[in-house]
Chain A
């Protein structure tokens, strides 16, 4: 194909992607380095917007707390989701008849909007009329019929567990696919040599699953750092109760659109830049580690 013809085919996508994704993405960074008076851009501000994130209210108190919640969200999701995902995928492996059906059922909640999921669980966990507490009371577990979402000590963990519940079908699917790629000659030979199921899993299957686990980790990291809609549905834009479900994206939304501060655009852009660097840096570092592992396995 001639280069000119090829470029003509590319033009519409390039224009759309350039105008609505690349250009905003690039200017987002520049916003953070200027002084702002409302919507009018003033002089170059150096790093003063960034220092405001450390020194000034509300960032001084809210940002470390929100960041901690993002990290807990990531770690909690990783731990629970990978444990369930690996266990379920291993148990599903070789169940040729029911696997497809079960995988499909597990993936169903993934389809539903995080906003719907958040409101649905708010209704289910409502202290007075919520079916969950009603059920707990009915089967004699009154001591667990608590206002889980109303208590700042438990609300974050409800958000994390609900998120795991929604997304677990994804690792089940990916780990299932990766397990299907483990050559059975290897595991069979090890079994013939007298290795137990546990040994086969630890020494052969698990190392071969590491790339899939890595992919899930990177995607979970990005997902956890960007968390917005689900916590919004649970605790509104302020992370109720008492900021216990606040996340960096919520703080960004508040400072950009709700704060009314004169330099809101500058500081919130600085916050977006920091969050971008965390996401991008974390994802790049993890990918690098993974590549190294893959090379080691290949050699």
Chain B
């Protein structure tokens, strides 16, 4: 799917990540010059670094299946008799069940709202001819690099005025708005690549603008929608400052804030802490396994200025 993403910028990314294209043909005539750099020594280095990248996460998972007493007597040990006691404790006593549900509601809600309004806007921007559309497009794109966390005080008072303090809906709306620039940026380029004959045919068949958009255009950009949704999910799920400031009651905390709460009160209950960390991380790992392509595409889409 990456081949359709942001023309010039993603093209090298795609060639690099799939290893197809010109490289295949060159392999035959290039002697020596095209061998992997560094040979076997480099392979060891690369796999060694992979171990370094993953070991802390593996240790986190392994220790979450041990009891606290087991961990304290031998911090380097393996879960020889694995137990889910730590998870039960974190989920119920540590309220991670509540935090998990809150995080899921807020993140899924924000991604849905953000993707919906951005898809509409991107279509308008891609097809609008008047000058105002160019102006609006640069307005949205200026938001790509805004450090929005610095606006937390005005956001706080805005929410206070709307009665949105300590509200999961408010938090979701905030995240949805923050995701608009990136989503519009990716989706507009996709819409621009679709031939206008599609819409002209639909109009001849008597479809109005909304029907054309919903029935014809949206299905065509489905891969881009997946990229945008998946890629936005991660930072919202992980965000810390907004829920820290905007949420008050423990029953509404999202996972990062709930984790901080739990960490402060149970600093020596190591196995439950490890379980809490795993609970906070697992949805992202699952997402990653199912949508590696979308996440990699999102990362390289961010590189185009």
Write the nearest CB–CB distance from B159 to chain A, whole angstroms. Answer: 9
Stretch from A48-56, A148-156, A249-257 at the B interface: A249-257
17 A-B Cβ contacts within 8 A?
Answer: A1-B124, A1-B127, A3-B133, A9-B123, A14-B121, A17-B143, A24-B151, A98-B46, A104-B296, A106-B50, A116-B280, A165-B52, A184-B22, A222-B147, A228-B240, A249-B149, A272-B153
* Bound CA span A225–B43, Å: 35
Contact indicator A113/B146 (Cβ below 8 Å): no
The residue on A at minimum CB distance from B152 is: A256
Contact indicator B305/A115 (Cβ below 8 Å): no
Given contacts A25-B150, A91-B46, A123-B273, 5 further A-B contacts (CB under 8 A): A13-B180, A19-B158, A131-B59, A173-B13, A176-B17
- Which B residues contact A (CB, under 8 angstroms)? 11-13, 15-19, 22-23, 26, 30, 33-38, 42-43, 45-47, 49-50, 52-54, 56-57, 59-60, 71-72, 75-76, 113, 116-118, 120-121, 123-125, 127-130, 132-133, 136, 139-140, 143, 145-155, 157-158, 173-174, 176-178, 180-181, 184, 209, 213, 234, 237-241, 245, 255-256, 259-260, 263, 270, 273-274, 277, 280-281, 284-285, 287-288, 292, 295-296, 299-300, 302-303, 305
Contact indicator A265/B153 (Cβ below 8 Å): yes
Asked if A298 CB lies within 8 Å of chain B CBs, one says no
Partner of B145, one of A135, A222, A229: A222
Stretch from A61-69, A70-78, A239-247, A275-283 at the B interface: A275-283
Contact indicator A287/B305 (Cβ below 8 Å): yes
Partner of B153, one of A120, A138, A188, A256: A256
Contact indicator B153/A104 (Cβ below 8 Å): no
Known A21-B178, A129-B72; contact A112-B19, beta-carbon cutoff 8 A:
no
Encoded as 1 (CB less than 8 Å from any B CB) or 0, chain A from 260 to 284 comes to 0000010011001001100100010
Return chain B residues, CB-CB under 8 Å to A252: 150
* Bound CA span A124–B277, Å: 13
Known A115-B256, A119-B273; contact A257-B19, beta-carbon cutoff 8 A:
no
The residue on B at minimum CB distance from A30 is: B154
Contact indicator B56/A124 (Cβ below 8 Å): yes
The residue on A at minimum CB distance from B240 is: A229
Write the nearest CB–CB distance from A236 to chain B, whole angstroms. Answer: 9
Contact indicator A105/B16 (Cβ below 8 Å): no
* Bound CA span A13–B120, Å: 8
The residue on A at minimum CB distance from B26 is: A184
Return chain A residues, CB-CB under 8 Å to B273: 119, 123
Return chain B residues, CB-CB under 8 Å to A98: 43, 46
Partner of B256, one of A14, A113, A225: A113
| A-B contact number at CB 8 A | 292
* Bound CA span A18–B261, Å: 33
Interface residues of A in 1-32 (CB under 8 A from B): 1, 3, 5-10, 12-14, 16-17, 19-25, 27-28, 31
Return chain B residues, CB-CB under 8 Å to A170: 299
Contact indicator B117/A13 (Cβ below 8 Å): yes
* Bound CA span A9–B191, Å: 14
Nearest first, the 8 closest Cβ-Cβ pairs linking A and B are A180-B16, A181-B12, A9-B124, A20-B177, A6-B128, A13-B121, A113-B238, A177-B13
Return chain B residues, CB-CB under 8 Å to A226: 147, 149
Contact indicator B121/A12 (Cβ below 8 Å): yes
Contact indicator A104/B132 (Cβ below 8 Å): no
* Bound CA span A283–B299, Å: 19
* Bound CA span A229–B120, Å: 33
Known A10-B136, A17-B140, A99-B19; contact A165-B53, beta-carbon cutoff 8 A:
yes
Return chain A residues, CB-CB under 8 Å to B155: 20, 24
* Bound CA span A287–B255, Å: 36
Write the nearest CB–CB distance from B147 to chain A, whole angstroms. Answer: 5
Partner of A9, one of B57, B120, B177: B120
